[in-house]
Structure 1
Amino acid sequence: MRVIVRTLSELCITAGALIVLFVGYVLFWTGVRAEGAMNDQIGRLRAEWSAGSGRARPAARAEPPRAYEPGEPFAIMSIPRLGATWHKPVLEGTGTGTLKKGLGHYAGTARLGATGNFAVAGHRRTYGDPFKDVPRLRPGDAVVLTDGTTRYTYRIDEGPYRTVPTDVAVLDPVPRKPGYTRPGRYLTLTTCDPEWGHSHRLIVWAHLDATQPVDTGHPQAPRR
């Protein structure tokens, strides 16, 4: 009997140690790796833009915009309410691998700054916790994105709004919940709720308030 009790005790201790290690991995190590990955993506974009190459190079003549490449970064998002150092890369797609490196643009929704709904997803917890503080956002807050040539300032109208994952209408070109009734230039942010679960989603909606060439300091109202 003593052997059995001792064996069970050792197994419980081992299982407990493995659980602690797993929790440490989820809470700490995935965050460290994600922060490094996001910083790499931002550095890559800034290097491209500084060199005047790739997606950031202005076209010599009017041409159709280049398609976003799956899994590739194309913009940087900043949200002043979340801090002066809050900067996250935006990549194309919302697959698991993509969201480990930053925020993900829902394929099929509008391009950045274009008419329609530019929709972006991000983890609430793990992998750098990019949208951990989404509940702090309020109507009137700014969400700023840049693609290397233009700075787009969106202004939050509604949210955070809690819904279920099957409520795909939140990504409609004209989302009805925030009161939009006609085509416009909209932004939707989505993340999981509760913090450590995924039974629901938190949604934030915004409209394009101004655009600004990155080499000037004069914001311009978007053309209708």
Structure 2
Amino acid sequence: MSAELVVTLGVVLLLLVVHQLWWTNREARQEAGRTLQALQREWSQTPPPVVPSGVPPVVPTGDPVVPEPAPSAAGPATTRGSDPSAAPTTPRWDQAYAVLRIPRIGLTAPVAEGTSKGGVLDRGYVGHYTRTAQAGRAGNFALAGHRNTRGEPFRRLDRLRRGDRITVETRDAVYTYTVDKSLARTAPSDSGVIAPVPRSNITTSAGYSEPGYYLTLTTCTPEFSSRYRLVVWGKLTAMRPR
């Protein structure tokens, strides 16, 4: 192989690395930033919700919150101006509809429905696993995000510690979860970690045994590899209308 060919191959490989590690991050972060701005503009143009009488304010505590919606002859409300603990309408596929904030790692990212690469994850979004609960609802609100490239919102997920605060803001409410447990490594096929009562099917001592209001964050591990999954769990500790 000639020296010129070696140099050419080296330059091509270098350009590929730059594209993956810098350009994809730049593009995804710009798109995620535009989406965050669009959500905030949309929400600011709509009046704040009115909480029905009989629904007490939620005070943050160290224990999980179990929201109790006010009785209604019409059943659970699903529109703006209703109790924020009421069942939300299901977002459209790939629709960005919430904002995830994790102060510990300096993260603010849009949350979109689904975990497809092209429609959600590769755009720098955090993806909501379909068929898991929505934010603030009983069960498991499970999310996924890239750890490297394409915006890498979960790059520093391994830095989260028990007691760290995580908020999820929607059009109607702000939900606060508190980090409770983590699983440093499990197989991508370990579906138990996003079950309604999350518990690893592989490391059976990791997870929970009782129903609750859970948050699950998942990403690839180790860095620059998709061989395993890193999992962080939290519990709902507060909620308030926007």
The TM-score by the shorter chain falls in which range?
0.7 to 0.9
Q: What is the rounded CA distance, in whole Å, between the counterparts of 1:123 and 1:61 in structure 2?
A: 33
Q: Does 1:87 align with 2:120?
A: no
Q: Give the alignment's TM-score, normalised by structure 1.
A: 0.85
Deviation at 1:149, TM superposition (A): 2.0
Q: 1:61 to 1:171 in 2, by over 3 A?
A: closer
Residue 29 of structure 1 aligns to which amino acid in structure 2?
Answer: W
Q: 1:61 to 1:40 in 2, by over 3 A?
A: same
Question: Of 189, 211, 221, which residue of structure 1 is paired with 2:239?
Answer: 211
Bigger radius of gyration, 1 or 2? Answer: 1
Question: Of 182, 195, 206, which residue of structure 2 is paired with 1:172?
Answer: 195
Q: Is 1:90–1:103's contact at 8 Å kept on the other side of the alignment? A: yes
Q: Does 1:136 align with 2:159?
A: yes
**Which residue does the alignment assign to 2:134?**
111
Q: Is 2:88–2:134's contact at 8 Å kept on the other side of the alignment? A: no
Deviation at 1:181, TM superposition (A): 2.0
Q: What is the rounded CA distance, in whole Å, between the counterparts of 1:178 and 1:186 in structure 2?
A: 14
Q: 1:76 to 1:60 in 2, by over 3 A?
A: closer
Q: Does 1:99 align with 2:93?
A: no
Would you tell me which structure has more helix in proportion to its own residues? Answer: 1
The answer to which structure, 1 or 2, has the higher relative contact order (CA under 8 A, 6+ apart) is: 2
Residue 161 of structure 1 aligns to which amino acid in structure 2?
Answer: A
Deviation at 1:61, TM superposition (A): 9.6
Question: Of 145, 150, 158, which residue of structure 1 is paired with 2:181?
Answer: 158
Question: Of 6, 21, 34, which residue of structure 2 is paired with 1:12?
Answer: 6
Deviation at 1:155, TM superposition (A): 0.7
Residue by residue, what CA displacement relative to the aligned partner does 1:185-213 show, whole Å, maximum 9, x if unpaired? Answer: 10000000011000000000111011022
Q: 1:59 to 1:30 in 2, by over 3 A?
A: same
Q: What is the rounded CA distance, in whole Å, between the counterparts of 1:205 and 1:43 in structure 2?
A: 28
Q: Secondary structure at the match of 1:192?
A: strand
Q: Give the alignment's TM-score, normalised by structure 2.
A: 0.79
Q: 1:141 to 1:147 in 2, by over 3 A?
A: same
Q: What is the rounded CA distance, in whole Å, between the counterparts of 2:196 and 2:128 in structure 1?
A: 14
**Can you give the 5+ residue segments of structure 1 that lack an aligned partner in the other structure?**
215-224
Q: Secondary structure at the match of 1:40?
A: helix
Q: Does 1:194 align with 2:188?
A: no
**Which residue does the alignment assign to 1:185?**
213
Q: 1:74 to 1:21 in 2, by over 3 A?
A: same
Q: Is 1:157–1:178's contact at 8 Å kept on the other side of the alignment? A: no
Q: Is 1:152–1:211's contact at 8 Å kept on the other side of the alignment? A: yes
Q: 1:163 to 1:26 in 2, by over 3 A?
A: same
Q: 1:213 to 1:178 in 2, by over 3 A?
A: farther
**Which residue does the alignment assign to 2:150?**
127
Q: Does 1:148 align with 2:171?
A: yes
Q: How many residue pairs are counted as aligned between the two chains? A: 204
Q: What is the rounded CA distance, in whole Å, between the counterparts of 2:241 and 2:82 in structure 1?
A: 16
Q: Does 1:51 align with 2:45?
A: yes
Q: 1:21 to 1:61 in 2, by over 3 A?
A: closer
Residue 95 of structure 1 aligns to which amino acid in structure 2?
Answer: S
Percentage identity across aligned positions? 41
Q: Does 1:39 align with 2:64?
A: no
Residue 117 of structure 2 aligns to which amino acid in structure 1?
Answer: T
Q: Secondary structure at the match of 2:229?
A: strand
Q: Is 1:49–1:57's contact at 8 Å kept on the other side of the alignment? A: no
Deviation at 1:183, TM superposition (A): 1.3
